């Protein structure tokens, strides 16, 4: 059932609740084609256990429609299946929203004695002097494992790729010792956006350092909620630390690392103390040195970066 509905699953990035634009009867019919005779009532029951709720078939618009948007989702699914079949790593990446570090209110509630809530600061106005945590996540789709690199400065392309590199060194290479390929799913904008020259330059550095052929597929603009890391990693981290003030970086690391689910999700985290500069420009000459091959289908969204020749 998961395989049938997965390409069309949607949901809010900070909420584990999921829904599908397929009806229970359509899912039942699809299962029967796979020689699984399951009635629609049983489908509804299983969906409820999987934390899906049934909605109408009308799709919700998320930003302006882009040409071939739905085809891009199918293309992403096709590429993912190819990599997974050959046991090559497939990761979903993104930066979670910045968090204030200190005795500030954190959304959500947790159990405490009646009339004795945790007291926090009465305001959380923007203040450059207040420390901030910048979590950048990597979710291994096949292994159901998460990695979060918690930065202390800015969410830049350099920081994003360093987060991926740390995942590869600490988790990826151990899980995929025989692989020299990596598939990355990323949003269209932000530090890992498809228009970012610095992102491509840093991916090339990673490719050269680790001798990896890296394929990147970006979700179309306005569809970041479809990125698996939002539903399978970030939402559970948010649940795990809801109602708890993020008093220090140590507390944040511990809360992220203690995130687990009944389906086997486990997460590792580290603190990245490096300061990443904003506004780094990449010249045309530097771009020409990137060994980038655009795919025939929407090459701006889908491309492969191979290691540069050492000669």
Q: Report pLDDT digits (tens) over 158-198.
A: 999 999 999 999 999 999 999 999 999 999 999 999 999 99
160/191 Cα distance (integer angstroms): 6
Split at pLDDT 50, 70, 90, the class of 211 is very high
Whether the predicted pLDDT of 94 surpasses 70: yes
Tell the residue number behind the tokens 């988790």, with chain if given.
171
Mean pLDDT for 3-24 is 58
Greater model confidence, 52 or 269: 269
* CA distance readout (Å), 296 to 201, 218, 283: 21, 14, 25
| CA distances, 132 to each of 17, 31, 114, 207, 234 (Å) | 28, 48, 31, 30, 17
pLDDT at 120 over 50: no
Q: What is the pLDDT of residue 55?
A: 52
What does the pLDDT look like over 216-270, one tens digit per residue? 999 998 888 778 899 899 999 988 877 678 888 999 999 999 999 988 999 999 9
Q: Which of 44-53, 67-76, 237-246, 257-266 has the highest mean pLDDT?
A: 257-266
| pLDDT of 19 over the 90 cut | no
**The pLDDT of residue 8 is above 70:** no
* E strands in 106-251: 132-140, 145-151, 181-186, 213-218
Q: Residue 142 and residue 22: Cα distance in Å, rounded?
A: 24
Domains and CATH numbers, the chain: 2-54 (no CATH), 69-305 (3.30.420)
Among the ranges given (50-59, 113-122, 205-214, 264-273), the one the predictor scored with the smallest mean pLDDT = 113-122
| Opening angle at CA 3, ends 183 and 37, nearest 5 | 165
């Amino acid at each position: 059932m998961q395989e049938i509905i997965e390409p069309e699953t949607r949901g809010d990035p900070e909420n584990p609740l999921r829904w599908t634009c397929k009806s229970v009867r359509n899912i039942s019919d699809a299962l029967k084609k796979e020689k699984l005779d399951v009635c629609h009532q049983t489908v509804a029951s299983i969906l409820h256990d999987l934390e899906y709720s049934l909605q109408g078939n009308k799709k919700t618009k998320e930003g302006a429609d882009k040409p071939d948007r739905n085809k891009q989702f199918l293309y992403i699914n096709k590429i993912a299946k190819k990599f997974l079949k050959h046991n090559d790593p497939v990761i979903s990446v993104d930066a979670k929203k910045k968090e204030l570090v200190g005795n500030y209110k954190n959304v959500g509630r947790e159990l405490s004695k009646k009339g004795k809530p945790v007291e926090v600061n009465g305001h959380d106005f923007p203040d450059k002097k207040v420390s901030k945590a910048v979590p950048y996540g990597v979710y291994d789709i096949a292994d159901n494992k998460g990695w979060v690199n918690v930065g202390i400065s800015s969410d830049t392309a350099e920081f994003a790729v360093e987060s991926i590199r740390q995942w590869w060194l600490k988790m990826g290479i151990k899980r995929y010792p025989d692989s020299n390929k990596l598939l990355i799913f990323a949003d269209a904008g932000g530090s890992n956006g498809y228009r970012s020259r610095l992102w491509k330059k840093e991916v090339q550095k990673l490719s050269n350092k680790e001798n990896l052929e890296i394929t990147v597929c970006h979700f179309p603009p306005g569809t970041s909620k479809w990125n698996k890391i939002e539903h399978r990693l970030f939402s559970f981290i948010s649940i795990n630390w809801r109602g708890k003030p993020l008093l220090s970086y140590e507390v944040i690391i511990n809360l992220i690392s203690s995130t687990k689910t009944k389906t086997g999700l486990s997460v590792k985290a580290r603190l990245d103390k490096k300061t990443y500069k904003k506004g780094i420009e990449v010249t045309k000459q530097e771009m020409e040195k990137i060994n980038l091959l655009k795919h025939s289908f929407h090459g701006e969204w889908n491309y492969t970066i191979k290691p540069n020749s050492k000669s």
